[in-house]
Chains A and B, each alone.
Chain A
Amino acid sequence: MVLDEDMLRGFVESVSGPGFDYVEARFHGGRFTQLFFLNGVLAGASTGDDSGVSFRVLYNGGLGFSATSDVTREGLRDALSRAVSSAKASSLRVKSRVAVSPARLGSAGYRVLEIRPLDDLDVEYKIREVQERIRGLEAPRDPVRLSSYTVVYNEVSERKLVVTSDGGVVESVIPRVSISYNLSATTGDRRANRWNMVAGSGGFELVDRLRFDAEMRSDVESLYVNLVKAGSPPRGRMDVILSPEIVGLSVHESIGHPSEADRVLGREAAQAGLSYRRDYKEPVIGSSHVTVYDDPTIPGSYGFYLYDDEGVPARRRVLIDRGRLGELLHNRETASVYGVESNASARATDYRSEPIVRMANTYMAPGDYRFEELLEGVKEGVYVKKYMEWNIDDYRWVARYVGLEAYMVRNGRLEEPVRDVVLEINTRDYYSSIDAVGRDLEFSAGTCGKGEPPQPMPVWMGGPHVRLRGVVVR
């Protein structure tokens, strides 16, 4: 059966009567292929599709959601009936009525351009292309050798069709490619890992564009530096220069997540947690050098979309403007609580998932400094280039980043490498201590976690090099 706009609209319009405020249907499917390589050899493959339809129904302030992979007419009728009964169950105990904000909704369709369409290329070719790029990676870098390395190539073409009872109709096709890997290195009795991922939206051209092979070879070198060359980490208060990899992660964790309005409202309290923005009343969180955006519309990005999963047109969101806290990320539900318009942050991982407030591509805006100029201002400090371990508390206030590759900086010069530098710092101190921001801008790919059932979500995280003054490392 072909699922089209008219069919979904028919189901949406079949729910009417007193108390029904909103109905939404979403077809959401993805065809995927995954190839995984062990030490350069293809170890297995997986392909498939993950497609179905979800319905959301709002009844007397109670929200119901239902999803099914049975897309027969009977299956959809059954799923819609479950969404209705779920909404009625919710409405029995609701004190704060759920509503959706009015929005200018799209009536549109779009498709991400694939220069080398994934469906046009044979899987044998894809296997060869990945293998050619990782050939020879296992060559020892004396005295370090790779005890194992794994590579996972993943492609998915995600198709969505969203129809809402207040006029939104948006169809989209977004293909994505990701390549993740884990390197395990040993020397004598010492061992270390590097896990990393590159990803974007588009076709097979991303395998070249994302330069994962260059990243892998650079990471082998980082492991060599960590295992052989690096000395004990410095301790105490000093200047710190952070790479785009860590700046991107930090703005995602300590600016993006706490700016999600559903967290501020407590809706995610038992899962991914709350937000300091619930209680933080100061207008300023960082120095005037700090501006942070979240922008779904960056072409080729892993978190790309032009309309969100409620049909709202996407735009760049300003989360921090020269140190001052900016807008929250909203879907239509949270926007209605705040009396604002949704800024198109509703995303659902798959048909099983309700659209909740999510980031897309979060990054710190670049400044004016060349890397050498950032170094020049440091008498004694440390430059952290790559990390492995990180985490942040569920209020998004204190984060920890542990360097995999880091170097001492003395009198403006990079000097000896140091191992496992720890930066554990609260959000205000981190952003307030930034006194210079690089002119570069690099993005890393990530899979953001939130929701119940958990909804892994493709995102980019980015930024320039930055300099922090007088922070504690250990």
Chain B
Amino acid sequence: MSSRSLANTIVERVRRLVEEYIVTVITRDSIMVKYANGEVTVTQAWRDYVVSIYMAKAGRISASTFTSRDPVEAAARTATLIEKLQPSPLYAPLPQPTGKPSSTVDPKVRDLSLSGDAARLVEDVDVSRYGDVAGMNSLEYSKAYMMGSNGLDAEFEVTSFSGYMRVFRGESSGQWAWVSTGYEPALALKAIDKAGELASLCSTLPLERIASGTYRVLLSPMVAGNLMERVAFAASAGSVIFGFSFLQGRQKGDVIASDKLTLREIPLDPSLPGYRSVDDEGVATRDKAIIERGVFKGLLHNTKTAKLMGEESTGNAGWILPRIFNLEIEGGSLREEELLEALGDGIYATNNWYTRFQNYLEGTFSTVTRDALLVVRGGKPIACARRARLTGRLPELIAGIEDLSRERWPIQWWEVDTPFIIPHVIVSKLGVTMEG
């Protein structure tokens, strides 16, 4: 049964039971090759069918997901559930669809994903010349069909080519990631080269213990991507309502960051796999600034959060809460080879993980550096350090951005969920802590 027929069957079953509905059927084919110790550890392939149903009746709302292809069972369960709920404070009527569906598909990614055969991927992104390397390389093709009681009728396809590699040189390592909608082995190899370059650089430098204190810090796109994604999440109206945002109480037009920072949500960039021309409610998406030259441009909304807060949808639905599709930060004035000189004396953090908040409402966080952590003096890398943490508050971090690189990298990995085009970022002041 095609996605359209399946959605139709479900709609036939639910349309008399509820007042509003949207049915989405997504088919996904993907392959992934994982590496460790310089060799393939496992090759994986997936073929998924996911049916999601939004329903509303008398202000009660539910959003359900089924991998079962039995639409009768799926519809019946959801319709039964909604009768027993209570009116939601988030409820808003579904909007009239305004967007036209469109796709971003690379036929090579699509065909390789559908074939389930990873041999070509292993050949084209040949990691054997990097020696001791670990990571993953993946392809995905997905096709979505959405139809709703608001007249929504949209079908679109997206492809994705993404991965990351960690290259080891003795005790030193570097890690980098890539993401694209196109089949670009050169992009992957450029990222792995970058990881190898950082690992090699660190392996030639002495090890130094950093004293805990405040430093000028150069954040790689990997690190900046992780922290700035948190800033973007804080701009979701859902985060504000649910108490996870340091932007609670901030108004459009408030200066909240350095004038060097422009953070944008870019669903319409066809090079990134978060590409969407219509959101989950059928509203046309648009590229938009979250922060423009330091000025807060407003929260991200679906119709529900927009109604609750007296705003308009920004085309970021999520059936229940807003979602983010792709992100970018505008580049700055520096060429990559000028970055260390611009940093002067400070720390170059090339990768991080495990960002955790002591206080979401104040944006108080720490994150752990990993891989190459360079000590820079007089614009030169003079040593490498290990196991330092970056600590601070997100409001102060974004206020302290001094400059950014012109060159930007498309990043997505374990610690950067959202496809993100992002430069290097120099921050004037950030806490660095070491044990003891």
Asked, given contacts A43-B88, A47-B62, A49-B68, whether A182 binds B243 with beta carbons under 8 Å apart, the answer is yes
B359 touches A193 (CB 8 A): yes
Let me know if A391 and B356 touch, CB within 8 A: yes
Q: Are A391 and B367 in contact (CB-based, < 8 A)?
A: yes
Are A270 and B47 neighbours in the complex by a CB distance under 8 Å? no
A64-B357 in contact (CB<8A): no
Of B8-16, B112-120, B255-263, B277-285, the segment with at least 4 beta carbons within 8 Å of chain A is B112-120
The one of B34, B175, B361 in contact with A193, judged by C-beta atoms closer than 8 angstroms, is: B361
- Rounded to whole angstroms, the CA-CA distance of A402 and B366 in the bound complex is 10
Residue contact B244 to A182, C-beta cutoff 8 Å? yes
* Interfacial chain A residues near B244, Cβ < 8 Å: 182, 193
- A113 within 8 Å of B by Cβ? no
Chain A residues positioned under 8 Å from B364 (CB to CB): 389
Q: Say whether B41 contacts A388, CB under 8 Å.
A: no
Given contacts A48-B64, A70-B69, A271-B414, contact A122 B39 (CB under 8 A): no
Residue B81 CB within 8 A of the other chain: yes
Contact indicator B135/A270 (Cβ below 8 Å): yes
Docked CA distance A264–B84 (Å): 50
Contacts of A182 in B (CB 8 A): 242-244, 360
Please measure, in the bound complex, the distance between the C-alpha atom of A47 and the C-alpha atom of B117, giving whole angstroms.
34
Q: How far is the CB of A37 from the nearest CB of chain B, in Å?
A: 10
Decide yes or no whether A339 CB sits under 8 A from chain B.
no
B81 contact set on A, CB distance < 8 A = 33, 45, 47, 123
Most buried by A among B85, B116, B122, B168: B116
Contact B85 A45 (CB under 8 A): yes
Q: Using a CB-CB cutoff of 8 Å, which residues 386-422 of chain A contact chain B?
A: 388-395, 397-398, 400, 402, 404, 420, 422
Q: Taking CB as reference atom, which chain A residue is nearest B42?
A: A63
Complex Cα distance, B237 from A296, in Å, reads 40
Is B368's CB under 8 angstroms from A83's CB? Answer: no
Q: Which residues of B contact A394 (CB under 8 A)?
A: 353-354, 368, 370
- Classify chain A: how many residues form its interface, as a range: 35 or more
Given the known inter-chain contacts A44-B61, A270-B164, please indicate yes or no for A93 contacting B85, CB distance below 8 A: no
**B395-436: contact bitstring with A at CB < 8 Å (1 yes, 0 no)?**
000000000000000000010000000000000000001111
Chain B residue total in the interface (Cβ 8 A): 85
Residue in B48, B64, B355, B434 whose beta carbon sits within 8 Å of that of A352 in the complex = B48
Q: B37: which of A70, A193, A266 is its contact (CB, 8 Å)? A: A266
Given contacts A47-B78, A93-B40, A269-B36, contact A398 B357 (CB under 8 A): no
Q: Is the CB of B435 within 8 A of A69?
A: no
A106 within 8 A of B: no
Contact yes or no, B387 A389, CB < 8 A: no
* Cβ–Cβ < 8 Å partners of A441 in chain B: none
Name the distance in Å between A285's Cβ and chain B's nearest Cβ: 16
Q: A70-B47, A98-B41 are in contact. Are A395 and B116 (CB under 8 A)?
A: no
In the complex, which of the residues A51, A78, A270, A397 contacts B134, with contact meaning CB atoms closer than 8 Å?
A270
Asked if B370 contacts A420 (CB within 8 A), the reply is no
- A192 CB within 8 Å of chain B: yes
Query: Contacts of A269 on B, CB cut-off 8 Å?
Result: 36-37, 134, 166, 168
Query: Of B45, B119, B320, B355, which is in contact with the most chain A CB atoms at under 10 Å from its CB?
Result: B45
A184 to B357, CA, bound (A): 13
B389 partner, pick from A64, A150, A400, beta carbons under 8 A: A400
Chain B residues contacting A268 (CB-CB under 8 Å) are 36
Q: Are B41 and A267 in contact (CB under 8 A)?
A: yes
Docked-complex contact B64 and A354, CB < 8 angstroms: no
Q: Are the C-beta atoms of B134 and A424 separated by less than 8 Å? A: no
Flag if B243 contacts A52 (CB, 8 Å). Answer: no
Whether a CB of chain B sits under 8 angstroms from the CB of A65 is yes
B86 CB, nearest partner CB in chain A, Å? 4
* Nearest CB in chain A to that of B195: its residue: A270
B383 CB, nearest partner CB in chain A, Å: 18
Interface residues of A (CB under 8 A from B): 33, 38-39, 41-52, 62-70, 72, 75, 78-79, 81-83, 85-90, 92-96, 98, 122-124, 127, 147-150, 182-184, 186, 191-193, 265-271, 273, 352, 354, 388-395, 397-398, 400, 402, 404, 420, 422, 424-426, 429, 452-454, 472
For the complex with contacts A44-B85, A64-B42, A393-B369, 4 further pairs of A-B residues with Cβ separation under 8 Å are A39-B89, A123-B84, A182-B242, A426-B435
Interface residues of B, Cβ cutoff 8 Å to A: 31-50, 61-69, 74, 77-78, 81-82, 84-86, 88-90, 116-119, 122, 128, 134-136, 164-166, 168, 175, 241-244, 248, 320, 353-362, 364-370, 386-387, 389, 414, 433-436
Residue contacts A-B, CB under 8 angstroms, 22 given: A44-B63, A49-B67, A64-B42, A69-B68, A70-B69, A86-B43, A90-B43, A93-B39, A96-B39, A183-B243, A184-B361, A191-B359, A193-B361, A267-B37, A269-B166, A270-B166, A270-B175, A389-B357, A391-B355, A394-B368, A402-B366, A426-B435
